[in-house]
Every structure is written in C-alpha cells, then in structure tokens.
Chains A and B, each alone.
Chain A
C-alpha cells in the first residue's frame, strides 16, 4: 500500500505538472523566452544573478522545505490518512502550486519586487502593512509551536535530543572547517556529513542527554534562540543550514525508496470522522480547518516570500519558472505524501507497542482500533499524552519512519533518530532565524512611531528588545498555554494562510488586470483565491469560538487578540481586493 500511494502520488504530481502546470504557464503567465528576466537585465551579482534552473530549484526547495511538511500532516492524520492525503494532493495542486508559481512569476514581471510590493501596488498601501503584521504574528506563533513540538518530542526521546545536540556541535565544527581552514571544500563536506551520521549513531547508541522535563526544554530553547541569533552566521547558522540540505535530501530519497519497497498495508484508519479532535483536542471540522493544520505540504504563504524575495531575482529565463515554482511545491507534496504513508502504515503498530501504557492512561486501544469515530476523538490525545510517551506528532512520525526505513535494513532506532534529527534540525534552524527576523519585523512595524516619540521608538526598536520580546512571547504561549502546541501550530498556520490569501488575491488581481486573463483560466486562479479566503476566514472564526475558550486562561488574551486583529485585517484585505479588482490597470509605478 505504501508503494502504491507513493507511486500514485508521484504519478499524480508528474501528470499535474505537465497538464495543469503547463496550462497555467501558457495561459496565465505567458512566458516569453526572449524577454530577459530581472536576473539578467538588472544583474549585480549581489541579489540579481541568474542561476542555473537546477541550482535554483535546489535552493528554492531547500528554503521552502522545513519541519512544516512533516509536522502538519503528522497532526492532520488523525482525520484519517485519506483526507490528509487528498488535501496534500488536491490542495497542493489547485491552490499551493498556483500560489507558488504565480507569486514567482508576478515578481519576475515587476523587476523582482516582492509579493508584498505587488499586493500594495495592485490593491493599495494598506495591504503592505497587513502583510507585515501577519508575518510578525506568524513568527511569534511558530516560535511557540515549534518549541512545543520539539519539546514534546525531545522530552520523550533522549536519542533524538542527544543527536540534535551533537549535531549542533558538528555544525560548529563544520563551520570551522569550511570557513576558517584551507581544507578543500569537498573534504570538509564529507567530514560534515560523517559527523552528522555520527551524531545519529551516538544518539541512538548512547543517548546520554536526557531531559524529560518539558519546561526545562522550553527554557533551553529560549536561551538557545537569544544566544544563537546573536552569533555571526558563519559560526552556526550557515554550516547547520548546509548540513541540513544533506539531511533533507537523504530523508527524501531514503524515505521514497523505503516507502516504495516497504510493501506495507495501511492499518491506520482511512477516515475517522469529519470533526475529529485534531486541533487543541476540539472537534475540528475538516473543512474549514484543514489549512490550519497542513500548511507547507499543501499551501504556505511563506513560500511566496521565498519565491518573490529571492528566487525571482535569480531566475535565468521565464521558461524556468514552472520548474522552480511548481516543481518545488510538488516535491514538497511528495515529501508530505511519504510522511503520511509512513504513519498510515506503521502508526497503529506504534500504538500497539505501547499498549500497556495506553491502557493505564485510561484509553481502550481495541475500541480505538475498531471504531473510527473513537479514533478520531481520542487519537490525538493518545499521541500527545505525557505518560504514554509517543512524543506528539513528531513522535508518531519518527517512530513510523524508523519502522519504514527498517524495511531497508536500517535498525529501527537509527531510522527513528534520523527522522527525529531531520525534523529537529529544521526546527532549530527556524527558531534561530525566526528570532533574527522577528527583531527586524518588529522594527519595521514600529517605524511610524518615530514621528511620535523618538525616545520611545529607540527603546522599542533596540535589537535586543525586539528579539527577546518575540522569543519571550513564544515561550509564554507554549509554557503558560499548557503545552497546547496544536493550538499554537494552528494559529501559526492561520497567519501563514492569511499571507497565502494575500498572495493568491494578488495573483488573481494580477492575472485579471495585468495579464488580461479571463474565463475558465481566470477561474483557475480566482476560485482558489476566493475559496482560500473563505476557508481561512471561517477556520479562524472557528478557532476564535472553539479553541480560544478551550485554551488556558493565561494565553487566551494574547492568542485571542492576535486572531481578532488578523480577522479584522482580513476583512480589510478582501475589501481592498474587490475594490481594485474591477479597476482598469494603469502602468504607473
């Protein structure tokens, strides 16, 4: 079954690429092979430099791939493997890929300007500010959510905690080798990969770093964030990101091969219930809340930032756009497919391996296995339960992944540790970089304060203040919130999908007013954009009504506040969209 699903997934994406993708390319983007891209025309070898399309694909894919495509599906699978898979396939195709590809190409047409700029240009200045605010909220929430996800995993798995810590050290060593010695590049790289493997092996063999207290792990991550964000990039961030790419490709390749050769049936329920308890242990209606769970594998606003911020300035030719934009998105979909397949095949087995603990926690495993509705309502509780010790969404993934790699002969624990390192390496990267950026976004948002009070402005935009506030907000949310990482993850995904809404609405606006697309082709952009907007809006309303009141009282205020602000701005956004949609487009700057 795993092989079948992976095969179907691959075929689906390939066919989609050559049919739907090509149609989009031909009818909406209308690439001109002779028109020089900004990378060529504005070349400065700093931001604008044309890159070989394979290079760009690799870089773009590595930038958009993170822990997201793993965490999201691992939480969503409580709805059953089929709904999760369908969203990863269909959502990715009709919304995600369209979003990524058009963000990229619209940017190319505007000299490499970002989607935020284009949104402001087409729909008004307010849109620019809304965009920034969403980004900032998203960053605080992802710090909280990832701290939670990693904390839960690491508290239950000393192997993964040890491996992750050793990996950090390996990255620092790699940094020294690459940037401070005259060792040939290939040799340093080989040593780096070897050290990474060593971290995994030692983590599995002698997991000497064991911190079962989740709060300690939160504080450690907090300290790590503040500290790491102050280091020069060559010391830790750059070598770690570099080694991460090897882990990523290793994971994707090994995972695909293992999934293909595993030949394992899916014991996980194909469908549990429409409103399984997925988010914050609340009955979560699949529509509209699935985008609040599966982000990156299907659709993610942050992709438009990567596409229109860096990749568009490096596109060597308009025809390469589809390979980079659609191609990377489909690849990420494949990644999520593998994640779902491995949990679907081996997840129940994991439950069975801890059956006594499940029983002593008061759950009836037999009933869970036989009755999908029961599964839907307590599956997540079992996965996240402190005493059962699976380790949350990442826990069920890494253990299943370990089992799946085992079919290739890799010892289960090593495979699980590898999977764990894969996720945690990306999480720790995100925590580090997000804090650096939150500091910057914070300063941007408070820029207008300068005209009111210079002194206050200076204090607020001090680099440490911005950075500590973001990290502290994240820490507060996850600690005080009772480790409700699914709620925070959903909050992050909400902000992320709002960004995607802006991008999709901009793309639809661009398609109609600038590219003069109409009819069925315009529908291919407009309908997903509207559908997305409605879905996210409804999803956030649901979140406000169901998740906030169920959350711990100390975080209700902040979280609720974020959501209310986001919803209000969302209304403003769609108002601006419709107001500009009918207007004639004038080429002025």
Chain B
C-alpha cells in the first residue's frame, strides 16, 4: 500500500492536487482513497460532490471522505467516559461528562484525533493507495512528528512505571508474602497501565516506521512567492529530521503570460527568482511548476484533465 501526503500552506491548492492526483492514480486500476484532514474541507468543492465523514464511492476505484475532527474527538471522549463509568462507580456520581468537556479543547487533542484517523486508515489495508489532504503546514508537521514524540514520552513513562512497579513489588514481598491477596499490581504483565504503555509504544513505532518507509511520501505544494522558499525549506528540514521521505515539490499557480502586463513585471521577476532558487536548493527533488489555470479545475472531468496535463508526467508509480 502506498500513502501520499500533500502538505502546504492554506490556499496553495493542496486539495485540488490531492484530488486530481488520487483520481489519476485510481484510473490505473489502483483502489484509491482521498481523505481530507483539513478542517477547511474543500474536498467536496474540488470534486463538486457532496462528501461527508462516511466514505463515498465515486467510481470503481475512487473513494473520498472528509474527516469531521470534532465528531471524532467527541466519539473518543465518550468511549473513554463509558469505559470509566462502567469500571468505577465513584466517578459516575461526579458526572464525568463535565470533566471530559474540558478535554475536548485540551492542547493536542485535535492532533491526537487526526493521528488516530491516519493510523486507522493506514492499518485498514482496504486500499492500494491513500492520499491525504492535510491541514495547514504547522499542524501537519506536528502531526507527522507525533509518533516520534509519543515514543519518547512513552519510554519515559515506562521507565517511571517500572520504578513504581519495582517498589510495589518490594512492599508486597514483605507485607503480603504469605497471603495470596496482592495489594496492587507489581508485575509488568499484570499492570494494565504498563500493558497500555507497551501497546501504545508498539503502535507508534509501527506508525513511525511506516511514515519513514518508502511506502510513504510527502508531497509539498507551494506558490512562487518569497515565503515559499522559507516554508519549503522548513518542511524539508522537518521531514529530514523525522526520516520521512519527501516526494515532489509542486509550485502551483505559476503565472505564464505571452506578454507580461506592466503591473506584473516585478511579480514575474519574483516568480522566476523563487522557482530558480527552489530548483537550485532542492536539486535532489523533482520540482514541478504548475501554471495558474484559466478555469479552476472543479469536478471529476476537469480534475482528471488537470492530472493528465500536469501531474501524470511526474508520476513514477
């Protein structure tokens, strides 16, 4: 299975490219899913279809879905509150839901939910190709870094938990050596918290390894403006740090005039400078300029045309 991420600032055309890309691949007989993780939710607009949080089969091999993050978060929290309610009556007296309302807005909750969504689709193995349309760069980079960060946190917690368990064991040995009543879990295998820690670590390692494998590629979508340079550099540095494979750099909305209007001469100079510098700095990667098309590619037909004109040639699958 191959996974593609399209990352970039808002308004660069990520959604259009993701949709076109996914559509194009699907025509080659690969069962393809395009997922929009961007809360801005332009996927439906790009495809000119009504997309919801239920996977929609658009054609034989082409599927699309828009993830509703808030709904996902609510679902996880209600699962949690049910689990706690059933195992411990003390809390039900307190009306847990009130507490978990706070968690809804806790820092990191959104990112967590998105990671879980990514994980679940990757592990489902239902599709040959998955294309992710992502939220604006900052959030996406954080999300891509979460597996690695999680592993570090989990290892620390495991260390701490070990210290706790070993001391519980010392106490148990002395106070409860003869009785069969063990006061509290002291063996790693019995302690549910330790088991969760190990499980979680395993899952995150799996996800991290997948993201850094050859089966996962991150394509960058940018525009020919000065900010693009800094932005692209930042993304690539980040990907390098986390050993995630960068794919192609798409410079979208390049202006191409037969005759350059006087007002736009400076802008064209900027554009040329940016494109040249991008090509030079990132000579190891494929940099593709995509022109600002006259009519926005909306709807399946235009998207497929868009794919054929600009994306197919750099497709190396």
Contact = CB atoms under 8 A, between A and B. Distances in A.
Do A and B contact each other directly (Cβ–Cβ < 8 Å)?
yes
Nearest to A188: B174
A365 to B, nearest CB: 53
Interface in A144-203: 178-180, 182, 184-185
Contacts of A178: 170, 174
Contacts of B177: 182, 184-185
Contacts of B174: 178-179, 185
A20 interface: no
A182 B170 CA distance: 10
A234 B170 contact: yes
A179 B167 CA distance: 9
B173 interface: yes
A234 B167 contact: yes
Contacts of B170: 178-180, 234
A57 to B, nearest CB: 20
Contacts of B173: 179, 182, 185
Nearest to A184: B177
Interface residues of B, number: 5
A180 B177 CA distance: 13
A397 B173 CA distance: 39
A179 B170 CA distance: 5
Interface string B167-182: 1001001100100000
Nearest to B184: A45
B166 to A, nearest CB: 9
B211 to A, nearest CB: 35
Contacts of A180: 170
Contacts of A184: 177
Interface in B174-226: 174, 177
Nearest to B171: A179
Contacts of B167: 234
The interface centre, meaning the residue of B167, B170, B173, B174 with most chain A CB atoms within 10 A of its CB, is B173
A184 B173 CA distance: 9
Interface string A218-235: 000000000000000010
Nearest to A234: B170
A184 B177 CA distance: 8
A306 to B, nearest CB: 22
Interface string B144-177: 0000000000000000000000010010011001
B165 to A, nearest CB: 13
Contacts of A185: 173-174, 177
A180 B173 CA distance: 9
Nearest to B170: A179
Nearest to A189: B174
A210 to B, nearest CB: 36
Interface in B5-63: none
A156 to B, nearest CB: 39
Nearest to A45: B183
Contacts of A179: 170, 173-174
A234 B173 CA distance: 13
A588 B177 CA distance: 47
Nearest to A180: B170
A408 to B, nearest CB: 33
A182 B178 CA distance: 11
Nearest to A183: B173
A401 to B, nearest CB: 32
A314 to B, nearest CB: 16
A180 B171 CA distance: 11
A178 B167 CA distance: 12
B263 to A, nearest CB: 51
Interface in B55-104: none
A251 to B, nearest CB: 25
B121 to A, nearest CB: 43
B5 to A, nearest CB: 38
Interface of B: 167, 170, 173-174, 177
14 contacts: A178-B170, A178-B174, A179-B170, A179-B173, A179-B174, A180-B170, A182-B173, A182-B177, A184-B177, A185-B173, A185-B174, A185-B177, A234-B167, A234-B170
Given A182-B173, A182-B177, 12 more contacts: A178-B170, A178-B174, A179-B170, A179-B173, A179-B174, A180-B170, A184-B177, A185-B173, A185-B174, A185-B177, A234-B167, A234-B170
Interface of A: 178-180, 182, 184-185, 234
3 shortest interchain CB distances as A-B pairs = A179-B170, A185-B174, A234-B170
